[in-house]
Structure 1
Amino acid sequence: MGLLRIRAGQSALEHIQKHGLSPSDISTVFGASGAAKWLAIYGLDRAIFSQWLAGASHPINLFGTSVGAFKLAGACRQDPAKALDDLAYAYIEQSYPNGFSADLIDVETQKLLNAVVDQAGVDEILAHPVFRYHCGTVLAKGLLAGASVTQQKYAMALAFALNGFGRNIHKKSMQRVIFADDRADGALGGRDAYVSHRVALNRDNLRSAVMASGSIPVVMHGVSDVLGAPAGMHRDGGLLDYHPVPGNLWQGEGLVLYPHFYSEVTSGWFDKYFFWRKTPKALLDKVVLISPSESFLASTELGRIPDRRDFLRMQGDDIMRKRLWRDSATRSLELGEAFLALAKAGDIGSIVEPI
């Protein structure tokens, strides 16, 4: 097996088999939540945004939650390669020698934010000539909105238990907020059963929106009353859109490019514990999903995708964790090279599989 696995929904598959895949085919790029998992595809994202899509002249929507929101913000910088390099470095260099607290995690997360969304970055993102940046948060309701960690733990446990009754069971405790580039075409919006709010991004709320998109309940503080957004507590957008599903969020022309650390899309954070719950193929019809192959991941020193739980697994041995994560990030540059080679040779159609 090669380094990459490329899967496509039915319409995307037919297009690639007939016409191949070019930057002009892409109307939207999605980015998934997953914390440290992103390091497994950092090099793939770097190649896509700094080279493959660099010559695009038509507007392209970007939507992500949590680390997906952070990386796509980096993709909108004038030098996306440097921004993604800085984000990967900052993620690897996080350190919690004295244990974990919400205050300390916020300090470290601010470093990630500053790597891609300093004030110069805000202006570059909002004025990008091609990319139209969007990120998602959850507007928490009830106990999930509370400042008490005990309340949040109870709310999360209850949400987990109720999730067995279906994805839409959380409508009373979660609403989706899509922070959107005001120049965007409106193709991105809530298309499922959840209340969705659309908020225009500006110089005064972009940093808060990105920070809120990655604010994991229980372990991090939420972000309250983001300027221009519905009042209340905003938490990690991955709770609702863990691996954002285009059919739940997007209705537009063209294809959706989805660089992903997995070869499957899991709709919500709680859905990952219900292995039998699969994302309907119809919701991925125009998606091109690009991920590392299992054999490639096994060949890394870590032998798998990096994971946020590695902070606990290797607590007290930052040197080892950083070395393993650095190896995963460095090796992921091979994924970018492989994708560019396939695209240049016009060989994507030869390896694409149906979703």
Structure 2
Amino acid sequence: MQILQKHAPALRIRAGHLARELILEQGLQPEQVDIVPGAAGGPKGIGIQGLDQAIFGEFFSRAPQRRTLVGSSIGSWRFASIAAHGAQQGTERLGELYTNLYFHKKMTRQEVSEVCRGMLLDLVQGKETDLVNHPDYHLTVLSIKAQHIFQSDKALPLLASVAGIVGTTAVARKHSRHFMQRVISQPNIGEQFKITDDGFTTHYHPLTEQSVLSWLMASASIPGVMAAVNNIPDAPQGYYRDGGLIDYHIDLPFQSKGIVLYPHFTDSITPGWFDKLFKRTSNPENQARTLLISPSQEYLQSLPLGRLPDRKDFTLKGLDQTQRIQLWKQCIAESQRLGDEFLELVEKQNFAEVIQTL
């Protein structure tokens, strides 16, 4: 008798306590989902392309409704591309543009910014109206407003700022507010995404056809790697940087009435970029309604690189541009397994067998 081999799952499924209760009682239904977070994390975001395609292209199409898409850095670019071009074309466009970028170690911050801005223009320029007025997606972009010497792109003030952020974050996450403030940019139409006080000053600014590209650029502008963004239309004067500095994996007090569906590239949530230095994890109450869907360790180990694409691959010793592109394309192609497994879970509604506590 032939014994059928059981394949390791491609996904790990974790849920907050309210999400778990709701899913075990009703199953996972598209109409339950009202918020979708998108984390910062560079090219890891294109490594879950197949999952994004399944969620936005297949799952949500069964119950069209207005959903808040809240993203930092690559998370906001993922959502912008989907809003501009649709799930299939949008994710493929982002994956192709990102994969074919070229960087070298001697590039200046301004040069890196120019390359990334060129990619952003290729991604969504001409689609500003779709981003701001999309009937189903309330695009919400996270960035930070730099304070004091953190506004400077010069080496010494920048290094001093980073040292100060690390030192204050070591004491408590909220103390880094002396160097940066959160900015939430969103269209004025529809229900507004709001959060309760979490220790950071939070500014709300309109996402308009004139400002959307600037806010997307600011959201992904990594200090020390790219220049800060200023002169944003309809925004106070200042210097704006990567939203992942405060909201790396977006551990916010979501005001969801149903499910926060979180397609993520890792199985844990780290609040801010600097919090990973101190192994901080999310507040369980913030994630009470979150269903976190991420690649399993077995899936990651099966990939050509043993992991998802990473920003360090651009300058990794022994990996040239042609090899990197080939490996990234393989990783992206493999991600169809993530989407297929998600849709199978939804079809069978066997979440009770796989769901774990977040």
TM-score of the two chains, using structure 1 as the length reference: 0.95
Contact 1:314 1:320 in 2 (8 A): no
- 1:27 aligned residue: 34
**1:338 counterpart (324, 341, 348):** 341
- 2:274 aligned residue: 270
Aligned partner of 1:13: which letter?
R
TM-score of the two chains, using structure 2 as the length reference: 0.94
Cα deviation, residue 143, structure 1: 1.2
After TM superposition, the structure 1 = structure 2 runs for residues 185-196 of structure 1, keeping only pairs within 5 Å, are 185-189=191-195, 191-196=197-202
Aligned partner of 2:116: which letter?
T
Q: Give the distance between the partners of 2:105 and 2:249, measured in 1 at CA.
A: 32
Runs of 5+ consecutive residues of structure 1 not aligned to the other structure = none
Distance 1:101 1:316, change over 3 A: farther
CA offset digits 1:264-297 (Å, max 9, x no partner): 000000011112x222211110001000000000
Q: Give the distance between the partners of 1:235 and 1:181, measured in 2 at CA.
A: 20
Kindly indicate whether residue 128 of structure 2 is the aligned counterpart of residue 122 of structure 1. Answer: yes
List structure 1 segments (4+ residues) > 4 angstroms apart after TM superposition.
Answer: none
Cα deviation, residue 316, structure 1: 6.4
Kindly indicate whether residue 266 of structure 2 is the aligned counterpart of residue 257 of structure 1. Answer: no
CA offset digits 1:293-325 (Å, max 9, x no partner): 000000011111221112221476111211111
Q: Which moved more, 1:23-32 or 1:301-310?
A: 301-310
Q: Give the distance between the partners of 1:286 and 1:98, measured in 2 at CA.
A: 42
Distance 1:125 1:236, change over 3 A: same
- 1:323 aligned residue: 326
- 2:4 aligned residue: none
Contact 2:99 2:325 in 1 (8 A): yes
Kindly indicate whether residue 220 of structure 2 is the aligned counterpart of residue 214 of structure 1. Answer: yes
Kindly indicate whether residue 60 of structure 2 is the aligned counterpart of residue 53 of structure 1. Answer: yes
Contact 2:244 2:272 in 1 (8 A): yes
**1:168 counterpart (171, 174, 185):** 174
Q: Give the distance between the partners of 2:151 and 2:133, measured in 1 at CA.
A: 33
Kindly indicate whether residue 315 of structure 2 is the aligned counterpart of residue 312 of structure 1. Answer: yes
DSSP-derived class of the 2:144 partner: strand
Distance 1:12 1:115, change over 3 A: farther
Aligned partner of 2:142: which letter?
G
Q: Which moved more, 1:105-114 or 1:133-142?
A: 105-114
Q: Give the distance between the partners of 1:14 and 1:106, measured in 2 at CA.
A: 45
Q: Which moved more, 1:61-70 or 1:95-104?
A: 95-104
CA offset digits 1:193-244 (Å, max 9, x no partner): 1111111111100000000000001110111131222320000010000011
Q: Give the distance between the partners of 1:198 and 1:280, measured in 2 at CA.
A: 23
Q: Kindly, what percent of the aligned residue pairs are identical?
A: 31
Cα deviation, residue 109, structure 1: 0.9
Q: Give the distance between the partners of 1:267 and 1:36, measured in 2 at CA.
A: 19
CA offset digits 1:21-69 (Å, max 9, x no partner): 0110001000000001112212111221122112333211110000001
Q: Which moved more, 1:226-235 or 1:96-105?
A: 96-105
Contact 2:303 2:331 in 1 (8 A): yes
Work out the number of aligned pairs and report it. Answer: 351
Contact 2:256 2:289 in 1 (8 A): no
> How big is the alpha-carbon RMSD for the aligned residues of Structure 1 and Structure 2?
1.6
Runs of 5+ consecutive residues of structure 2 not aligned to the other structure = 1-7
Q: Give the distance between the partners of 2:196 and 2:228, measured in 1 at CA.
A: 22
Cα deviation, residue 98, structure 1: 6.8
After TM superposition, the structure 1 = structure 2 runs for residues 150-165 of structure 1, keeping only pairs within 5 Å, are 150-165=156-171
Q: Give the distance between the partners of 1:233 and 1:304, measured in 2 at CA.
A: 34
Distance 1:78 1:305, change over 3 A: closer
- 1:2 aligned residue: 9
Distance 1:316 1:99, change over 3 A: farther
